[in-house]
Chain A
Amino acid sequence: MKKLTNHIIFILVMTTLTSGCQKIVDDVTPPQIESQLVVFSFLSPDEDFIKVEVSVSRPVFGKIRSRGGVDYVKNASVVITDDAGVSATLLFNDSFENYWINQSSYPILPGKKYTVTVLANGKAVSGSCIVPQSKVVFNEVSYKDLTNNGSPNSFGPYYIYTYNWNDEPSVKNYYRVSIEKTYEYTFMNDTQSYTNEVCNSLRDDSNKEGAQLAGSCEDYSYYFN
């Protein structure tokens, strides 16, 4: 349905535009912005190392550079501090082009709040997060196969997955829910399996603090996506 709407609106808009007297104007002055610090870090008690990547953004307008390359900042000061004020400095690793420290010397512990502060090129940025007290455990995960019963898409499969879990109270939490489907088949005694991510969503616990959070997702995908 959505695809059909998309197509028809696209055709209609394009027809209108192309049948009009449209012209392209080249000399438009684009907005400019100074490059900014980009800091990325993933803190988890399950990781061996704490890694912080520091780079700078590139302006959109102007000469194009390779999209794959990252402008790493190698001379930054990167410090991690917990809520008790215990801190550690991360050092740049040339091989991985990021700042790191072994968790054996600075462990990430559940329930604690950590702040990463970066000083580079005369700019300072910081970000903090609270490591969840416990891992998320689903209360229930189930699915319905509606392929032959009420599918809005007459031509293919249709599954609905539902799940719920309990939000950890008194903490602002953000969740990422990803559902993967593994399809396995055997042909001439050779078994193959394929895994696809069929749903991926982000949510937080706004208005649901400490309550049960539930979600559902529709899956129209064919086996070979």
Chain B
Amino acid sequence: MLTMKLKRSILLSSLLLSLCTIAQQRHVLSGFIKEKESKELVIGASIAIPQVKTGTVSNAYGFYSITLPSDTFEVIISYVGFAPKAFRINLKNDTELNIELEPSQSLKDVVIQADKQSQRLAEVTRMSVIEIPISQIKDIPSLLGEKDVLKVIQLMPGVQKPSEGNSGIYVRGGGPDQNLIILDEATVYNAFHLFGFFSLFNGDALKSVELTKGGFPARYGGRLSSVIDMNMKEGNKQKFKGEAGIGILSSRLVLEGPIIKNKASFLVSVRRTYFDLLTMPFMPADNKGGYNFYDLNAKVNWEINNRNKVYLSGYFGRDRFKFSSKFGNSLSEGGLSWGNATSTVRWNHLYNNRTFSNTSFIFSDYQFGIYQKAVFDGTTFQLNYRSGIRDYAIKHDIDYRLNANNSVKVGAHFIHHQFTPSAYVVKDQFSGQDTSVIAQIASFENALYAEDDIKIGTKFRVNPGLRLSHFAAQTKNYVNLEPRLSTSYNIKSDLALKASYALMNQYIHLLSNTGIGLPTDLWVPSTDRIKPQQSWQVATGVAKDFMEQNFSISVEGYYKEMNNIVSYKEGASFLEVEGGNNNGQNDPLSYENNITAGRGWSYGAEVLLQRKTGKITGWVGYTLSWTQWQFDELNFGEKFFARYDRRHDISVVGIYHIKEQKDDKNGLTLSATWIYGTGNAITLPVAEYNAPIHSPSNVQNPFGGFDNVSKYTSRNAFRMAPYHRMDVGIQVTKKMQWWLRTWEFSLYNAYNRLNPYFYFLATENNTTVLKQITLFPVIPSVSWNIKF
């Protein structure tokens, strides 16, 4: 017996020793991936070691780390649009290898070489993630030539196409409030200018855009339906560069360059519309009005040393509408303005070649305001109203490459929200009364998370994660555990089966009953009465790369349930939540009385066939989906389709580089998009009848009068006409002496489809008819751009 035990101990010790020996023979290869020309860090570059069928991807700060046995390897680094690089490396010790990639000089190179080596869709553990190539955003035709990241996201399967004038992004049946939009780690609360026709995000300033629709890793939280994670460019560390454009609606300018060569750089991007400046001279001097928006992105980064980097980035944008009129000795002026401001200070620190950390200090602010001033005979009335949300946040995230098979991420997020449902100040010299009422609510939202990307053998990958989220609301503390799981099984190297599960909590809510993205939409917190929204989603799918043809295809099915989603009660409106009065005291929680909570279900299937590189690029996306809601207090408690329920949703995007632009050659690019979406589900009146009016004051006959009452379809039971549209564009690029010049001509809604914006009832020849308003017929546009 004793001998047996001794033998086992010796065997175990030998095994442990041999494992230690093996462990000692493993080394870490780590470093940063940069663009050669600008020294910009490259996000999502693939580092492949074909010999041992392993690899990794550079993180959001260009850092990679991989553990390998002591041996000689071929290392292949690739990224879409860049020429791949291959090294032979004899790994005897932990090695730091910083790699610089050069933009591909030839599209053929990219087709033939890069895509054979770049990270394949089938090799990624996560699913329901789409990277939006920035270069394609610039090639896709758009309304009035304004390049728009969020409009391109709306062309992806799983993202319902909104109708015109409806800005929201609706992902897998989630509402526009359920998207976490992040710009350099800062949350952006209202992502659109001009009622949703244009997004805040100027493609010139962006380096990467990633959309996650499901299978959320634990590092993301706080919203139910999607994460749109955007990173701004850092600025060229080598040379001063610029880009400028003049379009029908706006002009823009991007400048970037080194502050200290190879160490520190800056980037500034500005855009402003000039509709107001053009129309102002034609308005009478005593009656003027106008609208404009502008935005400014700025970023400075400093590479202190190889272990420490600091970034300071900010966004500031504002929409302004103003009017003024003079009559005799009276003056009346007023306006609306709304906008976001974000700023982020980030510190990247490399503890060692396996451990990378990022610490962010974040400020984010969204404000909507109204002002009015009236002057009569020198006496003034002045009103200022505002509502909004302001965040101060700290995030600390650590990437730890435990070994070749485990890549761990842990982190802690702390956010202080300051909600202002309404605040107003009145200075009234007419009555001599001044009023100042500010309704504010403060809340804390915190989270701890851990996730691990695990490789099991060469075929199976799993990414389990857990997020612990906390929200302090009034007297209640909501604490929730959010398990996450993504798995991937490679049947072949280019074919993978994937599945995911994610539980999400959302502690803040957007009150909006217009659905058209008015800036009056109001962010409010969960309270003792209003519970956090919660969802769980399962998704399963298959991803296949067709290497020779340079295509990838993914097919996914999903099922999502949402609880405690909020909606306005019947008859309530956003105009009733402006602070509200309670016995003359301003009550910041008055909105609680106007909203009701319910449930939602969304399920469907998505297909995405995509080609990212080559002469012809683009994608075809198709979504089949159902989205239903149920609220006890709406539609008599019966289930109904969400307004944006889309049975069929198709998008086709094609970009054809007829002539590629190279150093001394001119370029010519054709592009076209076609989209189709089932019509919005709306509620219409269908019948009417006369109902007696109850007048208690008429004691003798309390039901003496009649009122005409409309009977409506059940909620959202009528479908608007389907939406479809084709846009086409042509870009002609010419190398000039000092710069590269591009003329772009495009046609929005090329075949002049009269898409529905809204319906209304009209009377013609003593007959009531239904009519449709269409916003945009065919719209040509031209823009002139230079790059130097």
Interface residues of A (CB under 8 A from B): 1-2, 4-6, 8-9, 11-13, 15-17, 20-26, 28-33, 35-36, 38, 40, 42, 53, 55-64, 67-70, 144, 146, 148, 150-152, 154-155, 160, 162, 176, 178, 180, 195, 197, 216, 218
Contact = CB atoms under 8 A, between A and B. Distances in A.
A184 to B, nearest CB: 16
A68 B707 CA distance: 9
A26 B721 CA distance: 13
B370 A33 contact: no
B736 interface: no
Contact of B584 (A31, A58, A61, A160): A160
B13 interface: no
Contacts of A31: 684, 686, 713, 717-718
Given A61-B768, A62-B768, A154-B431, A1 B688 contact: no
Contacts of A30: 684, 686, 769-770
Contact of A15 (B291, B428, B691, B761): B291
Contacts of B426: 154
Contacts of B439: none
Nearest to B334: A8
A16 B692 contact: no
A64 B767 contact: yes
Given A11-B323, A180-B697, A64 B769 contact: no
Contacts of A17: 773, 775
B385 interface: yes
Contacts of A13: 195
Given A25-B756, A26-B769, A154-B435, A5 B575 contact: yes
Contacts of B334: 8
Given A2-B575, A33-B686, A58-B687, A28 B772 contact: yes
B21 interface: no
Given A20-B776, A55-B689, A144-B583, A12 B336 contact: yes
A26 B761 CA distance: 11
Contact of B687 (A35, A53, A70, A144): A35
A24 B692 contact: no
In the complex, the 3 A-B pairs of residues with the closest C-beta atoms, listed nearest first: A30-B770, A25-B772, A57-B687
A125 to B, nearest CB: 13
Given A55-B690, A61-B770, A155-B430, 6 more contacts: A4-B383, A23-B777, A30-B769, A35-B687, A146-B584, A154-B426
Contact of B688 (A40, A42, A53, A58): A58
Given A5-B578, A160-B584, A40 B761 contact: no
B754 A23 contact: yes
Interface string B533-554: 0000000000000000000000
B679 to A, nearest CB: 11
B379 interface: no
B336 A8 contact: yes
Given A154-B431, A197-B697, A24 B772 contact: yes
A105 B118 CA distance: 90
Nearest to A56: B689
B763 interface: yes
A22 B688 CA distance: 30
A4 B763 contact: no
Contacts of B14: none
B328 interface: no
A21 B689 contact: no
Given A8-B336, A21-B775, A28-B772, A60 B687 contact: yes
Contacts of A20: 775-776
B457 interface: no
Contact size range, B: 35 or more
Contacts of A33: 686-687, 711, 713
A154 B686 contact: no
A5 B522 CA distance: 14
B8 to A, nearest CB: 66
Nearest to B770: A30
Contacts of A57: 687-689, 711
A17 B197 CA distance: 12
A92 to B, nearest CB: 17
Nearest to B428: A154
Nearest to B275: A19
Contact of B694 (A25, A32, A59, A176): A176
Nearest to A149: B584
A2 B580 CA distance: 10
Contact of B578 (A1, A16, A36, A68): A1
Contacts of B697: 178, 180, 195, 197
Nearest to B372: A4
B433 interface: yes
B289 interface: yes
Nearest to A24: B771
Nearest to B707: A67
Contact of A24 (B291, B370, B773): B773
Interface in B428-465: 428, 430-431, 433, 435, 437
Interface in B592-642: none
B274 interface: no
B264 to A, nearest CB: 43
Nearest to A206: B633
B703 A42 contact: yes
Contact of A154 (B433, B703, B706, B767): B433
A58 B689 contact: yes
29 contacts: A5-B370, A6-B575, A8-B334, A11-B323, A16-B291, A20-B775, A21-B775, A22-B773, A22-B775, A24-B774, A25-B754, A25-B771, A26-B771, A33-B711, A40-B691, A58-B687, A58-B688, A60-B688, A64-B768, A69-B690, A70-B706, A146-B584, A152-B581, A154-B381, A154-B431, A160-B583, A176-B694, A178-B697, A218-B581
Nearest to B633: A206
Interface string B171-211: 00000000000000000000000110000000000000000
Contact of B696 (A2, A32, A178): A178
B240 interface: no
Most B CB atoms within 10 A — which of A15, A23, A32? A23
Interface string B411-425: 000000000000010
B471 to A, nearest CB: 23
Contacts of A69: 690
B103 interface: no
B757 A60 contact: no
A13 B773 CA distance: 14
B478 interface: no
Given A8-B334, A31-B686, A63 B766 contact: yes
Contacts of B739: none
Contact of B690 (A11, A23, A70, A162): A70
B520 interface: yes
